[in-house]
Amino acid sequence: MTASDPMAEIRASFFVECEELLEALQDGLHALETGTDDGDAIHVIFRAVHSIKGGAGAFGLDHMVTFSHRYETVLDAVRDARLAVTTDLLGLFFRAADHLSDIVRAAREDEDFPVATSAALLSELDAHAADPQPADQPQEPDFAPVALSLDLLNDPETKNETALNRYQIYFTPEPELFETANDVPHIFAALAELGDLTVKCDTNRVPTLNQLAPEAVYLSWALSLDTIVDEAEVASIFEFVDGLCELQILPGPTTSVADEADTSAEPGKSNASSAPLSEPEASAPPRDTKNKTFVRVDIERVERLVNLVGELVINQAMLSQSMQSAGLSPHSDAMNGLEEFQRLTRDIQDSVMMIRAQPVKSLFQRMSRIVREASASVSKDVRLITDGETTEVDKTVIERLADPLTHMIRNAVDHGIEPAHARVENGKPAQGAIHLRASHRSGRVIIDVSDDGGGIDRARVFQTAKDKELVSADANLSDADIDNLLFLPGFSTASSVSDLSGRGVGMDVVRTAIHALGGRITISSEPGQGTLFSISLPLTLAVLDGMVVDVAGETLVLPLSVVSETLTLTKANVEALGPGRSVVRNRGAFLPLLDLGSVLGYRTISDSFVDRIALVLTLEDEVSIALVVDEIQDQRQVVIKGLDDSFYRAPGIAAATILGDGQIALILDPADIVAHANAGGAISSTYHVQEARA
C-alpha cells in the first residue's frame, strides 16, 4: 500500500502546496490585470513560481524546474522594473501560469509533459527575458559555477549589469540534521552552484578526544557566497534543513551598478537580526488569508467526521422516537434535555458540513482560463468578471460543477458574445464581458453566468426546433418557452459545429449535471443585451431535504425539491387512458400515474388508484408525473449514504439513508424511476387496466 510510503506523502503534499501556489499566482496576475495591485503582486507571483521551482527541483521534475526557472527570469525582470508590464506580457504571464498548472498536473498524474506548448511558451518568455539584457541573462546552461575573481567587485563593468551579491552565511547544524540523513557537503555543493563560494570551518568547539561525544555536532561553518541570485534563492538551498540548524544569511554589499541594495554595511558588520532565514522565505501565504490560520486535513478524516455526525443525527432521531413513544410529558426534564440535544446536534452537523465547504474561487479561476482559451480560439476579445469568489460550497459540489460551468462559459464565448464589429455597431464596447457570480440565498447557493452578448436569437431557436421536429410547426410558444428549448436533448443552434462548442454536448447535458447535484437551472435573455443562466444548488450533498413515504411496507425517501404537491386520487380525477396507462386530472392538465410499489417491483398488481395518495413530481424538461404511494410520513432532513453500485445497481434508487429506528430507507431517483417505468413498467399496469375494465 502506498498510503504509508513517506515519499509519496511528501510528494502529495508538494502537489497540494502547488495548488495553493498556483492559486496565489493567479490571484497575483489578476491583481496586476485589474490594477488592484498594491505593488506587492509581482512579488507574490514571483514567489509562487519560485517556490514551485524549489519543490520541483527536490523531486527531480526537471521539466517543471526549467519552465518555472525561465518564467521566473522574466518575472524577475519585471520585479526589478527592467521590463514594463504590457497587456501582451500579462497575457503571456497568464498563459505561462496556465501552462505551469498543466505541467504540475502532468507531474501529479505521471503523464507526459506537454513539451510542445512548453517550447513555444519558453521561446516567448526568453524573448522577453532577452530584451533588457541580451547577453548575460543567467540561464541555466550558460551558468556554470565559474570561479569569479574577487577583483570583479571593483570592476562591475566586466559583468555588464549583472548584479553580484555577496552573502555571509553562518551555518551550525544540529544533530537532527544528520539524523534526517542530510549532510553538509551536499548543501555546500548546491550553494557552490549558485556562485563563488568560500567555505571556512570553525573547529573551535571540537573537544579533546576523551570528551568527544560521537553523536554531538561540534562544527560550524562561515561561508561567503558571491552570486547573482537573490537571497530567497540562497535561503531555498537550506529549505530542507530548515529547523535542523542555526542559520544566518546576511546580505553583503551589492557589487553592481544597479543599486539594488543600498545596504552600506560591510559583510561582517551587518546586524544579525536583519535577515533571519524566515524572512526571505519564499512561501508567503496568499494575501487574503492574513488573519487566518489553516490546517490541512486529510479528506478521509473529514469524511469520517461527517459520517460520525450522520450517526449522531440518526441516533438522536432514534432517541427522540423512543422517548416520544414512552409517553413522557413534553414539559419533563428529559424532553427539555432532548430538545437541547437536538439543537446541539443540528449545530454540530452544520459546523461539520462547513469543514467540507470551500470557496468557489478555485473553480472561478479555472473558468478564467477557459475564457482565455475559448476567446483566443474564436478570436474574440472577452474578459471574465467574477464576483462572490469567497462563497463557500461543499467540495463535492464544486468538483461536479466544473464541467457544466466550463460548457456554459464556452457557450457564452462562442454563441453569446457577438464578434467585435457587431458589438461596436450596436454601441457596445468591443470587448465582451462574461460575469460569473456566486452568492448564498436561503440555504442554497446561486451561481449566475451572464454575458453581455446578443441574447438568444429566439426566431432562430424556434426555427431550429421546428426543423428538428422538437416542437410542432404550428406551436405557439412564449419567449420563456423558446429559451427553454435550448435545454432539449439534441438541440444546438450552432449552424456549423465549431471547434469550441457543439461537440454533441448540449445544454441538456449541463442541465442533467445540475439536476444530478440536486440543483436547478433557469435561463433568461434580453435581445441585444445578453443572456443569464442562473444555477441554484444545495450547499451540500451529504444531507437531503426529503419526503418520507411508505410503499408496500417499505419506507422510501423522495427529494423534496421535486415534489410540487400532493393529491388524493378520486373516481372523479382518475381516468384510464389506453392500455397500461392511467392519468390524473390536476389543474387542467393530465398527469400520468405511476404506482411506486409496482415500478420498484415490490408488488406486481396495482389495485385501483382511487382513494390513494399521489405526489406530483416536477422533473427535468418540466415533465410532471403523479407517483402513487401508500402513505406520507413526514418531511425531514436525511443523511445521504452512498450505495455500492458495483454490487448491484437498483433502478430508480439514488442512495440510502438510515432512519430513526436504525432501518435503512432507500432514496429515490425520480428521473430514473420514470425512465425505468417507461422502459419496462408497462406490463404490470396493463393488468391493472384490464382489471379496471372488467
Partner 1 sequence: MSDGNATQPIELLTFKLGDQEYSLDIMSVREIRGWTRATPMPLAPSFMRGVINLRGTVLPVIDLAERLGLPKCGQSSRNVIIVVKHGGQMTGLLVDAVSDIVSLDANDMQVPPDSGGYDGLNVIRSLTVIDDRMIRVLDLALVVAQSQSDAA
Which residues are near partner 1 by CB under 8 A? Answer: 307-308, 310-311, 314, 554, 599-602, 641-644, 646-653, 656, 658, 662-666
Inter-residue contact 63 to 113 (CB < 8 Å): yes
User: Residue 234: how many CB atoms within 10 A of its CB?
Assistant: 22
- R_g of the chain computed on alpha carbons: 33
Lookup result for grid cell 468578471:
385
The CB-of-656 to partner 1 minimum distance in angstroms stands at 5
Nearer to partner 1, 156 or 601 (CB): 601
Q: Count of alpha carbons within 13 Å of 514, Cβ hemisphere only?
A: 27
For residue 265, give the 3-state DSSP assignment: coil
Nearer to partner 1, 427 or 642 (CB): 642
| DSSP per-residue string spanning 54-117 | HHHHHTT-HHHHHHHHHHHHHHHHHHTTSS---HHHHHHHHHHHHHHHHHHHHHHTT----HHH
The CB-of-660 to partner 1 minimum distance in angstroms stands at 11
The CB-of-601 to partner 1 minimum distance in angstroms stands at 4
Determine the longest span between alpha carbons in the chain, in angstroms.
Answer: 113
Nearer to partner 1, 298 or 621 (CB): 298
Q: Round to whole Å and give the CA distance between 676 and 600.
A: 9
Pairing of strands 574-576, 582-586: antiparallel
Inter-residue contact 333 to 56 (CB < 8 Å): no
Pairing of strands 664-668, 554-559: parallel
Q: Round to whole Å and give the CA distance between 236 and 198.
A: 19
Nearer to partner 1, 600 or 626 (CB): 600
Nearer to partner 1, 408 or 629 (CB): 629
The secondary structure of residue 359, as a DSSP letter, is: E
The CB-of-683 to partner 1 minimum distance in angstroms stands at 13
Q: Round to whole Å and give the CA distance between 530 and 411.
A: 12
Which helix (H) or strand (E) covers residue 339, if one does?
A: helix 333-356
Q: Please provide residue 653's backbone torsions phi and psi, each rounded to the nearest 5 degrees.
A: -110, 130
Which helix (H) or strand (E) covers residue 593, if one does?
A: strand 589-595
| DSSP per-residue string spanning 443-464 | TEEEEEEEE-S----HHHHHHH
The CB-of-448 to partner 1 minimum distance in angstroms stands at 36
The CB-of-513 to partner 1 minimum distance in angstroms stands at 24
Q: Round to whole Å and give the CA distance between 670 and 676.
A: 10
The CB-of-547 to partner 1 minimum distance in angstroms stands at 18
Query: CB-based burial of residue 409 (10 Å sphere; 0-12 exposed, 13-18 middle, 19+ buried)?
Result: buried
The CB-of-637 to partner 1 minimum distance in angstroms stands at 16
Nearer to partner 1, 85 or 312 (CB): 312
The CB-of-647 to partner 1 minimum distance in angstroms stands at 5
Nearer to partner 1, 414 or 669 (CB): 669
Nearer to partner 1, 31 or 625 (CB): 625
The CB-of-671 to partner 1 minimum distance in angstroms stands at 15
Q: Please provide residue 270's backbone torsions phi and psi, each rounded to the nearest 5 degrees.
A: -55, 140
The CB-of-531 to partner 1 minimum distance in angstroms stands at 41
Nearer to partner 1, 85 or 643 (CB): 643
- Identify any residues that bridge with 576 across adjacent strands, giving them in sequence order: 582
Nearer to partner 1, 301 or 440 (CB): 301
Grid coordinates representing 198 are 568560500
Nearer to partner 1, 294 or 647 (CB): 647
Lookup result for grid cell 450505495:
643
Inter-residue contact 531 to 546 (CB < 8 Å): no
The CB-of-310 to partner 1 minimum distance in angstroms stands at 6
The secondary structure of residue 151, as a DSSP letter, is: G
Nearer to partner 1, 337 or 662 (CB): 662
